[in-house]
Amino acid sequence: MGTKVNERAAALLGANGLAPTGTVWWDLSTEVLYEHAIQNGSARLAHGGALVVTTGQHTGRSPKDKFIVKEPGSEGRVGWGNVNQPIDAASADRIANDLRAHLNAAPQLYVLNARVGADATHGIILRLVTESAWHALFTKSLFIDLTDDERAALETTDGLILHAPSFQGNPEVHGTRQSNFVVMNLSEGLVLIGGTQYAGEIKKSAFTMMNDRLPLEGVLPMHCSANVGPHGDVAVFFGLSGTGKTTLSTDSTRPLIGDDEHGWSDKGVFNFEGGCYAKVIGLSAEAEPEIYATTQMFGTVLENVVMDDDTRILDLDDASLTENTRGAYPLESVPNAVPEKAAGQPTNIVMLTCDAFGVLPPIAKLSPEQAMQMFLAGYTAKVAGTEVGVTEPQATFSSCFGAPFLPQPPKVYAALLKDRIERYEVNVWLINTGWTGGGAGVGSRMPIRVSRSVVRAAVSGELASAATRTDPIFGFEVPVAIDGVEPSLLDPKSTWPDAAAYDDIASKLAQDIAAHAQKAGE
């Protein structure tokens, strides 16, 4: 049960270098955090009980403003570059000192202690200190609650996030690019976040921390969703944003382990989180009933979702604030979630791509070598309108389907995955949720019913002995027939009016995937 800060809690904050002068609220309940967020004007109550917030200027992550402290403890293992930008220790110390002074002077602070990683052997306990009630609620929804015994025994944590959206960085003083920033010290387990209200920065900072720690323990961290079938058969879904990772793993016939971040240890797969963070733009009760239902539940935090001021009815199709509307909700909001947030060894891996060129089939089986190539390449595509300046389909490559969150070089994670695929004889499938019959603007989007059908056929074992053809350009095996799927969709070239144009585009994509995989694996 949450309270105002007491003498013991004050001592714990003192160990974090904090001496707040205002009121400090410690591990408040969801209900009380709701009240605080509504009373201070930072959130509104929607029809059905969700909490609606807006994040202002920043409606998504700002990867150019994320920095890792260059310090002796982690410098040698970090893959420095555009993703892992260095910041010197002196600048990071100035940010930390000024951020602590800002939090100390805040009229109210919220402290949330939670677990990241359902496997106690490999999980960590993380503390968030924030000036914002709704960000504390977001963190409570997304991470795993501590037990009363864990709270009572808590002395130190494995990680600390100091979070102040109203604090503005000064590039000349702090060495940042602009006023918003995320700064991580991997050795200290310290994250500094300022100048942005987008809550995804909290979630992804914790993920990045786990991505650094787990390989040191021989555990593979994964940007994936996971579910489990009636016979204990686990399926893992890799995919970048917009490929359908959350949608396709949320299946009423297969209990959900988690929707975004997992570890793969010698015991099996375990969720990092206690909640889900789903894109909700365009959700419908017909296509995605389980996720849609959470938008009308108490305990859900909706970011940048438009609603009617009078009726408080949500308009999930309104993208006037951003296409990246989000819903954060506890895993228990999904009817058939796995309570343990963990299961055994996977039997199937699904790699999702939104192919805007329309040359990939809806499903293909990959050899272990092809799986490594696709994992290292992390291919999907941007389409017109998703970003400023994008006027035609553009291939996008994100190593390991999560390059922005990988502190170490991609080959570290690929080696761990290769070991597990071989050791447990895991089937690997490539699923195209993008276009067919031509590229974006010419062809049509792959129907979600088709994507669901091919995924279910793959993970159920239905395709284990199915007849296949070898794709002459990509080299993978494609089933020639699947119940409920039009045969023409399984042969994308046949749906193109110009077969030569198909060959040209497919050949170029195959070359691009191979080139990016080779570079990532160096």
Give the three-class secondary structure for 141: helix
Closest CA to 305 of 35, 41, 36, 45: 45
Closest CA to 413 of 241, 271, 221, 226: 221
**Residues labelled as active-site residues:** 61, 204, 223, 241, 245-246, 260, 326
Burial of 48 (0-12, 13-18, 19+ CB in 10 A): middle
Tell me, what amino acid is at 275? G
Element (H, E) at 365: strand 363-366
Closest CA to 375 of 214, 270, 510, 239: 239
Distance of CA 470 to CAs 189, 333, 421, Å?
A: 48, 42, 22
d(CA 244, CA 261): 15
Phi, psi at 105, each rounded to 5°: -90, -5
Q: Report helix angle 499-520 to 368-377, nearest 10.
A: 80
Bridge partners of 479, per DSSP, are 468
CB 111 within 8 A of CB 25: yes
Pairing of strands 268-271, 342-343: antiparallel
Q: Count Cβ neighbours within 10 Å for each residue of 497-519 and write b for 16 or more, e otherwise.
A: eeeeebeebbeebbeebeebbee
Closest CA to 372 of 422, 418, 309, 315: 418
Other CB atoms within 10 Å distance of the CB of residue 257: 27
DSSP H helical segments within 352-399, as ranges?
Answer: 368-377
CB 205 within 8 A of CB 184: yes
